[in-house]
Amino acid sequence: MRTPARIALLGPGSWGTALGLQLCRNGHEVRLWGHETAQIEAIRRDGENRHFLPGHPLPAGMHPTDSLDAALDEATDCLVVVPSQAFRLVARQLAERLPADFGVAWATKGLDVASGQLLHTVALEELGERPLAVVSGPSFAGEVARELPTAVTVASNQPEFATRFATLLHGSTFRAYTSPDMVGVEICGAAKNVLAIATGIADGLGFGANTRAALITRGLAELIRVGTALGGRPETFTGLAGLGDLVLTCTDDQSRNRRMGLALARGRTVDEAKAEIGQEVEGVITALAVHRLAARLGIEMPISEQVYRVLHEGVSPAEATRALLEREPKPEFG
């Protein structure tokens, strides 16, 4: 019999709400926190997250709140699902409120744009040494909300904490595997969003299935290069958090990052595309962080670099494509 937990879930976007639904299905109580009072009041009034995850009524065990103190009151667990640019601030707020041994998990995918750091490094800086875990993998919020079969990875600096969060999430249609490789899981979850923008651009320009397959394969090579340089385990990149999430995000229009690429190929500006999508597109800010990270490490990431140039230097999708195609031939491996 599963022991009910009381979980502070910080971040009322589509993914945070979907994970809250999954936790409630497993018999847990969820306090869904967001800092925007109007948004939380709308969720409470409508009985669902109509803006980010419409059509999925909140269960009795999910309680929206705009008070972080109320969300954390008597909580047994904390799951952070805020955008990556807000992660450090939220971690800092948690450090002021949580005991030193209280574990923190997150399902945020991205890098700290100011420093280029992985989020577990940010967490260590802000929260100190404590149990930490990241939840990642091929998982669209809408499909989790509809109870379609899904599998993710929970990576942690402490095996027992990975097992705890995997157990909290694991259910009849939601499988959670554990891993010790926080570095590999995090870099995959962040950088794959940049590659999804690239495949969206290519598909939007009408380049076809051959190009899409090439971009995914060579994109995976970029993930492996940067991830292993940071200490990630090679096997992580062919697992759920790596290849699994990469394929999902690059090939299905539920992906906001892929839709960003499609919009750019149609001639939309980044701001226009964001307005059309209506939600956070993590790959936009992550492209800048990955650009800085690759430069710092001296690692070649040509696909990610061209996405950065389109998003942040005003290069056209057609020009970026030409730059990739005109690269000199080289061995595939080595």
> Which residues are identified as catalytic?
192
Nearest 5 degrees, angle CA 136-CA 141-CA 93? 60
Q: How many CB atoms lie within 10 A of CB 279?
A: 15
Residue 15 counted as an annotated binding residue: yes
d(CA 210, CA 265): 18
Q: Rounded to 5, what percent of the chain is helix, strand, coil?
A: 55, 15, 30
**Ligand-binding site membership of 192 (annotated):** yes
Strands 132-136 and 150-156 turn out to be antiparallel
Specify the 3-state DSSP secondary structure of 30: strand
Other residues' Cβ atoms within 10 Å of the Cβ of residue 165: 25
CA 328 vs CA 316, 323, 325: distances in Å? 21, 10, 8
User: For the chain, how long is the longest CA-to-CA vector?
Assistant: 60
- Backbone torsions φ then ψ of 16, nearest 5 degrees: -60, -45
Is 141 annotated to bind a ligand? Reply is yes
**Spatial CA neighbour of 199 closest among 175, 218, 173, 221:** 218
What lies within 8 Å, CB to CB, of 291 at 6+ separation is 304, 305, 308, 312
255 labelled binding-site residue = yes
Answer yes or no: is 282 a known binding residue.
yes
14 is annotated as contributing to ligand binding:
yes
Q: Annotated binding residue at 257? A: yes
137 annotated ligand binder: yes
The answer to whether 120 is annotated as binding is no
Pairing of strands 62-65, 53-57: unpaired
Residue 133: exposure state from Cβ atoms within 10 A (0-12, 13-18, ≥19): buried
| Residue 16 annotated as binding site | yes
H-type alpha helices, 73-140:
84-95, 119-127
Residue list, annotated binding site for NADPH: 14-15, 35, 109, 141, 256, 282
Residue list, annotated binding site: 11-16, 35, 109, 137, 139, 141, 192, 245, 255-257, 282
Residue list, annotated binding site for sn-glycerol 3-phosphate: 109, 137, 139, 192, 245, 255-257
